[in-house]
A and B are shown apart, each in its own frame.
Chain A
Amino acid sequence: MSGLVLILGARSDMARACAHRFARAGHPLVLAARNAATLEADATDLRLRYRVAVTCVEFDATDIAGLGAFLDGLAELPAVALCAVGTMGDQAQSQADPQAAATVLRTSFEGPALVLGELAQRFEARGSGAIIGISSVAGERGRASNYVYGAAKAGFTAFLSGLRNRLARTPVQVITVLPGFVATRMTEGLDLPARLTAQPDEVAEAIFRAYEKRRDIIYIRPIWRVIMGVIRALPEPVFKRTRL
């Protein structure tokens, strides 16, 4: 019997693809997002295709005070929790308006980190569970073009890293996913190079494999490991003059 998978931020394209991948392997699902009623069509589709149980629950990652109650309200503590919550925002707007920047930081760092932190407590107490956080290569080094989002993702990546370190001697598994460009609603309208851009299905397949093989950190297309290696290695006096 495959364990229950909780998908946080279930409306995103990557989350949807992951829902299909886990359901195909027989995992029942809980889809969590704001306006959960609008996820019913997805749930019906998943039930019809894969004959697994799918429920939709209301979830707001920015409601920090309510995170514990949200998890306690689930019918069952999941075996796997995947967090795809996050907003890229608009860098110019984030620079000009602290409120806009705060929204990006809250939805891409604070909310995802804290809900996974709460789950980690419960998984540790139970002695089992897998935590999958979708972070971003944008968090590997702050760049002028999107450093508010990048900073949030850097925070999230660091949080996942710490969680993994803390839980390394327990059966609880923590996976950091670092997708490069992915063709999703978030990147619609951006002119992305095709060779560097993964499809959501590809991301889902990589995540599912990482879960099965108990990997720690995954990139989706191998080229991103190389690109980020180079970007991280650039000396700051050089890096600060780049336009990436």
Chain B
Amino acid sequence: MELSGWGRYPRVQGTLHSPRDAAALATLVTEAPPLIARGLGRAYGDSAIGAQTVSMRHFSKMIAFDPETGQLVAEAGVSLGEVIDAFLPRGWFPSVTPGTKFVTLGGAIAADVHGKNHHCEGSFAAFTDWIDLMAPDGSITRCARDENPELFHNTLGGMGLTGIILRAAIRLRRVETGWIRQTMIPTSNLDETLEIFDETLSATYCVAWIDCLAKEEALGRSLVMTGEHAALGDLPSPATPFETPRPRAIRFPLDLPGFALNSYTVRAFNALYYRMGMRKTGEALVDWDSYFYPLDAVSDWNRLYGKRGFMQFQCALPLDAGRDGLTRLLEAITRSGAASFLAVLKRFGPQTSPVSFPMEGYTLALDFPMTARSQALMPELDRITLEHGGRFYLAKDSRMSPETLRQTDPRWDAFARMRADTGLATRFASAQSQRLGL
């Protein structure tokens, strides 16, 4: 069957297996390699597709929860949304969450996802206690900081290439309510945006939506949004702190024709969004779902970009090169006229794990429809990132060249050698790992 990631590009022909237990999975690992595991398919490109793809949907049980420490043990196919459904009413929330709740634990670990709190609390790795992996011989290996530590650290961010993640122990955070106190700060250019980032470093959550079509003196104008988990006392009705409005499921009904998203409609959207945000300046109470997962409200929103699909460009830039690098990237984007709706800028904190994406500095993420114009822009953005010492997020990547990866992120050389030496390379591979020579 035809398989693709969330961006619906590229599409590859592959077999999708859905084993029901570890024994069936072990048979696949030893008899049908190389394999790549797949969760809910939210990686944008080809990270979780390949000739032999394994859906982890039957590995979706919760196994144990310790209400003293907040440690949850669950199988890899359990999603963060399910974790929230089960544990928010008891006062627990994922310690790190990406922009969608439709991500499995296995996927979150494989991509070592980050959230709006990376600048102060780190990535998913920081709250992962141990991982059970299926090894190349079909056996199960436990890895943790004090048990097979090298395997543990390489698995966090290792894109599923160190074995199949079967189950894991993660730590949830205590919350008093299901609400976030959000502060919206509009800025009029990039300098101001970065200044606000510095001033709000102590905020638990901080992210900026950046108007990437604003030019010249308005280049980099943004809406910076900080957030804190609301305490009981912050709520107008503290009797039901975890009851939040459940958005009605809206499904994006069709593939929009390719011309629907062009620089005019996107510019209009961006201008409108910015003005509306300006009006909401200041503090507001926002429910967890709208705050963390605004796009989840529309299922299949990827159809917005039509059948040809879209790609996401996401890079991280080191702190000292951030201002210059971001300016050059934004100038290149406005010059090209390539349209991006969703442009997100965030401050990253330090990160030590061997192959995780974040680095202390900034990250910029942009969606582009799969058009000739945006494809022509990518090499330029790659070059600017490289010149400023930045690197790329494999969970978003669908088109990078192996040379670009090697130049921007030499850490993957050691990773690829480790895979070759330990027999992982012959058992586990994705379309992406083959494209990038991992």
Enumerate chain A interface residues (CB-CB to B < 8 A): 41-42, 44-45, 48-51, 185, 188
Question: B86 within 8 Å of A by Cβ?
Answer: yes
In the complex, are the beta carbons of B63 and A49 less than 8 A apart?
no
Interface of A is mostly: helix
In the complex, are the beta carbons of B61 and A42 less than 8 A apart?
yes
* Nearest CB in chain A: distance from B378 CB, A: 34
In the complex, are the beta carbons of B20 and A49 less than 8 A apart?
no
Instruction: Identify the closest chain B residue to A41 (Cβ).
Output: B61
Report how far A42 CA is from B60 CA in the complex, Å: 10
* Nearest CB in chain A: distance from B344 CB, A: 32
A48-B63, A48-B64, A51-B90 given. 14 additional CB < 8 A pairs?
A44-B61, A44-B62, A44-B63, A44-B64, A45-B62, A45-B63, A48-B62, A48-B65, A49-B62, A49-B82, A49-B85, A49-B86, A185-B20, A188-B18
B:69-88 near A, CB below 8 Å: 82, 85-86
Instruction: Identify the closest chain A residue to B65 (Cβ).
Output: A48
> Which residues of A have CB within 8 Å of B63?
41, 44-45, 48
Report how far A181 CA is from B63 CA in the complex, Å: 31
0/1 interface trace, chain B 54-67, chain A, CB 8 Å (1 if under): 00000001111100
The 4 closest A-B CB pairs, nearest first, are: A45-B61, A48-B62, A49-B86, A45-B62
In the complex, are the beta carbons of B86 and A50 less than 8 A apart?
yes
Report how far A50 CA is from B85 CA in the complex, Å: 9
Task: Sample 10 A-B pairs with CB under 8 A, ordered by A number.
Answer: A41-B61, A44-B61, A44-B63, A45-B62, A45-B63, A48-B62, A48-B63, A48-B65, A49-B85, A50-B86
* Nearest CB in chain B: distance from A12 CB, A: 12
Number of inter-chain CB pairs below 8 Å: 23
Enumerate chain B interface residues (CB-CB to A < 8 A): 18, 20, 61-65, 82, 85-86, 90
Instruction: Identify the closest chain B residue to A188 (Cβ).
Output: B18
Report how far A165 CA is from B65 CA in the complex, Å: 47
Report how far A45 CA is from B63 CA in the complex, Å: 6
Residue with the greatest number of chain B CB neighbours at <10 A, chosen from A45, A51, A185: A45
* Nearest CB in chain B: distance from A190 CB, A: 14
Instruction: Identify the closest chain B residue to A49 (Cβ).
Output: B86
* Nearest CB in chain A: distance from B246 CB, A: 13
Instruction: Identify the closest chain A residue to B75 (Cβ).
Output: A45
> Which residues of A have CB within 8 Å of B86?
48-50
Report how far A240 CA is from B248 CA in the complex, Å: 47
Instruction: Identify the closest chain A residue to B61 (Cβ).
Output: A45
Report how far A152 CA is from B248 CA in the complex, Å: 41
> Which residues of A have CB within 8 Å of B18?
188
Instruction: Identify the closest chain B residue to A44 (Cβ).
Output: B63
Instruction: Identify the closest chain A residue to B60 (Cβ).
Output: A45
> Which residues of B have CB within 8 Å of A42?
61
Report how far A84 CA is from B86 CA in the complex, Å: 26
* Nearest CB in chain B: distance from A68 CB, A: 33
Report how far A50 CA is from B82 CA in the complex, Å: 11
> Which residues of A have CB within 8 Å of B61?
41-42, 44-45
Report how far A45 CA is from B64 CA in the complex, Å: 8
Residue with the greatest number of chain A CB neighbours at <10 A, chosen from B82, B86, B90: B86
> Which residues of B have CB within 8 Å of A50?
86
Report how far A36 CA is from B70 CA in the complex, Å: 30
> Which residues of A have CB within 8 Å of B82?
49
* Nearest CB in chain B: distance from A155 CB, A: 30
* Nearest CB in chain B: distance from A177 CB, A: 23
> Which residues of B have CB within 8 Å of A49?
62, 82, 85-86
Report how far A51 CA is from B90 CA in the complex, Å: 10
> Which residues of B have CB within 8 Å of A45?
61-63
Instruction: Identify the closest chain B residue to A45 (Cβ).
Output: B61
Instruction: Identify the closest chain B residue to A47 (Cβ).
Output: B62
* Nearest CB in chain A: distance from B61 CB, A: 4
Report how far A215 CA is from B29 CA in the complex, Å: 46
Report how far A42 CA is from B58 CA in the complex, Å: 12
* Nearest CB in chain A: distance from B74 CB, A: 8
> Which residues of A have CB within 8 Å of B62?
44-45, 48-49
Instruction: Identify the closest chain A residue to B72 (Cβ).
Output: A48
* Nearest CB in chain B: distance from A217 CB, A: 27
Report how far A196 CA is from B20 CA in the complex, Å: 24
* Nearest CB in chain A: distance from B312 CB, A: 28
* Nearest CB in chain A: distance from B208 CB, A: 35
Report how far A49 CA is from B90 CA in the complex, Å: 11
* Nearest CB in chain A: distance from B171 CB, A: 16
Report how far A44 CA is from B63 CA in the complex, Å: 6
* Nearest CB in chain A: distance from B172 CB, A: 12
Report how far A45 CA is from B85 CA in the complex, Å: 13
Residue with the greatest number of chain A CB neighbours at <10 A, chosen from B18, B62, B90: B62
> Which residues of A have CB within 8 Å of B85?
49
Instruction: Identify the closest chain A residue to B82 (Cβ).
Output: A49
